[in-house]
Amino acid sequence: MIGTSTIEYIILRACILFLHNIAPTSLLYSALFLVSFLLDQNPHTYRLPFPIEVWLLSEAAFYTIVFLPYERYLQRAAIHPEPLSQEERAKLFARCNINVSDPEKYIRQWLLGAKVNDIKRENVKEFIRWAFWNAGDVLQRDEDEVEDYVRALEKLLGRSIPHGKGSAKSLRLTLDKVNCSHRSLFWYLCVSVVDTITFCSLLYNGFHFHRTSLACFVELFPFQPLTLVSGYESPVKHLTYWYRPHTSKTRLPILFIHGIGIGLYPYTNFLRELNTRGGEGCDGDVGIIAIEIMPISSRITHSALEKDVMVREIQTIIRHHGWAKFTLVSHSYGSIISTHLLKSPLTAPAIGNVVLIDPVSFLLHLPDVAYNFAARQPVYANEHLLWYFGSKDIGVAHTLARRFFWSENIIWKEDLGLEVEQWEEGRKVTVVFGGKDILVDTNTVGRYLIDASFEGPQISDKAIRMASEIKTAIVSGLVSVGGEEWKTRPWIGSGLEVLWFEQLDHGQVFELERTRRPIIKVIRVYTQARSSS
């Protein structure tokens, strides 16, 4: 993630302008080429150099033959999960209402920032039908329940919502159009270069790539020719991954799940540093599995996997390598998959301690993540980066519009398993936030997590020394403000804790060694915890 300086804005906007105009330029040149070929006796007049001409004609063909039909194909309606029962809906609605700190913002942002005067009762009902029924309309017998929820929101707001329908429009991700932008062949060439760098880097650092079957090679674009040389095959149909063998007998291996972007490239240094031994006395290497999620990695491929399919495939991979327990680490969108793993009876028993970096799954009923990613009009350089290279990507846009169901993806503190019976001190969870995050309201989520968080056992002198070492490694700039002392609270390695980086934006914690270091130390401490069973 880049910053907000003027020079960064100019450079980024220039890059977006270039990439965005490749398609119209190639279409215009192809039209002129065709006209000159049909009408001119000398079709070589006004011709560009042959390599550039081949590129532009290829771009035009790719846009018309691949992108346009694929974009129409992606507009198919979402297959929503089974609707909740009335009791389950009421429980979910009540839970959400309890955790709304700013009711006016809550309503207005789900209605795309509409003015209060433009929001009337039917607008709010439209949002409620989508949020709690996954539908544009509900049966007549459910309308009374919808009305009850509107009354509950009125109590939350402290005012009445006028009858009628205003000009406000509700943000309904799974019902709205899949809003994506064309990606050129040139862009996919850049992705291939980055992919090659990632492949070579991870291979050099001791990871083995596990590919899907050779028959699935053509199902991913841009193609990955280097994967053909791998002698390791994934035990599942869809997921590919990088694996570092686990040889330690006293520590837990690590499962890492990345976020939206360009795959594992932003995490190569992080994985390399995790790959080093933990110091003297280690009895072997800590194994690492880094899952690749191609639908959110700037690729054209299969749709994002359904929740249950993803859980089963990860479970199969874990069992394939003989892991009975593991430490779970994820970033951003990876926290959604972590949510499913933590909730599933298939995988939850195998999860030891957890590190969630820039998670988006807490308080997902609040509009911040959906609005900031899918609806906000970008102004600053970092917002344009998130908008063009993130939310407008074909795979990402489809994933969020047709495969992202907030009520399934949300995780509450109670779901973290902080008192798992088979663990002597309960499961330990550390959540990492940046104070300048443009996607998540980290202040609100952080306060939610820390309030009445699980209190661990009496802190030992060793734990205090370890906490001091980790805390002093965190980037400077933290200031303890009234009511925000939780941001500077020492990390003690017990229960639910937060690491707060005041000056960092979403994803920036991976960019510098000094900001990665405290997270890596936390993970290494977490891998030392063993089950008592």
Residues 345, 96: Cα–Cα separation, whole Å: 24
Q: Domain 185-459+490-527 carries which CATH code?
A: 3.40.50.1820
What pLDDT score was predicted for residue 214? 85
Q: How many CB atoms lie within 10 A of CB 512?
A: 12
CA–chain centroid gap for 79, Å, is 21
What pLDDT score was predicted for residue 364? 96
Q: Is 532 exposed, middle or buried (0-12, 13-18, 19+ CB in 10 A)?
A: exposed
| 210 beta partners | 232, 241
Whether the Cβ atoms of residue 328 and residue 351 lie closer than 8 Å to each other: yes
DSSP string, 398-455: HHHHHS--HHHH-B-GGGG-TT-TTSTT---EEEEEETT-SSS-HHHHHHHHHTTPPP
Residue 210 is inside which H or E element, if any?
strand 208-211
- Return the residue matching tokens 């899918």: 374
| Amino acid making up residue 345 | P
Residues 30, 354: Cα–Cα separation, whole Å: 53
What pLDDT score was predicted for residue 98? 93
Query: What tokens were used for 156?
Result: 């939350």
What pLDDT score was predicted for residue 453? 41
- Return the residue matching tokens 């209190």: 455
Whether the Cβ atoms of residue 158 and residue 107 lie closer than 8 Å to each other: no
| 233 beta partners | 211
Residues of the chain with CATH 3.40.50.1820: 185-459+490-527
Among 450, 438, 409, 406, smallest CA distance to 507 is for: 438
What pLDDT score was predicted for residue 41? 55
Residues 73, 519: Cα–Cα separation, whole Å: 41
Side-chain-side CA neighbours of residue 491 (13 Å): 27
The structure's pTM equals 0.91
Sign of the four-CA dihedral 397, 254, 276, 231:
negative
What pLDDT score was predicted for residue 468? 45
What pLDDT score was predicted for residue 37? 73
Task: Please write down the HEC assignment for all residues of 118-135.
Answer: HCCHHHHHHHHHHHHHCC
Residue 319 is inside which H or E element, if any?
helix 307-320
β-pairing, 208-211 vs 232-233, is parallel
Virtual torsion, Cα 255, 261, 264, 268, nearest 10 deg: -110
Q: How many CB atoms lie within 10 A of CB 177?
A: 9
Query: What tokens were used for 267?
Result: 């995490």
Ramachandran angles phi, psi of 117, nearest 5° = -65, -20
Residues 462, 481: Cα–Cα separation, whole Å: 28
Whether the Cβ atoms of residue 390 and residue 261 lie closer than 8 Å to each other: yes
Angle at 303 between CA 297 and CA 307, to 5 degrees: 95
| 434 beta partners | 501
Query: What tokens were used for 225?
Result: 């020719």
DSSP string, 129-160: HHHHHSSSS--GGGHHHHHHHHHHHHHHHTSP
Residues 487, 351: Cα–Cα separation, whole Å: 26
| 331 beta partners | 357
Task: Please write down the HEC assignment for all residues of 466-515.
Answer: HHHHHHHCCCCCCCCCCCCHHHHCCCCCCCEEEEEECCCCCCHHHCCHHH
Query: What tokens were used for 446?
Result: 């952080």
What pLDDT score was predicted for residue 363? 97
Q: Is 211 helix (H, G, I), strand (E, B) or coil?
A: strand
| 355 beta partners | 329, 430
- Return the residue matching tokens 């280690």: 282
Across 79-94, b (16+ Cβ under 10 Å) vs e yields eeeeebeeeebbebbe
Mean pLDDT per 10-residue segment, the chain (533 residues): 89 96 95 79 69 95 96 94 94 95 95 94 96 92 95 95 95 95 96 96 95 89 90 95 93 96 96 73 85 97 96 98 96 98 96 97 96 94 95 96 95 85 70 96 94 43 44 39 76 93 96 95 86 38
Residues 6+ apart with CB under 8 A from 464: 490, 492
Among 491, 494, 356, smallest CA distance to 415 is for: 356
Sign of the four-CA dihedral 300, 302, 306, 307:
negative
What pLDDT score was predicted for residue 462? 44
Whether the Cβ atoms of residue 376 and residue 383 lie closer than 8 Å to each other: yes
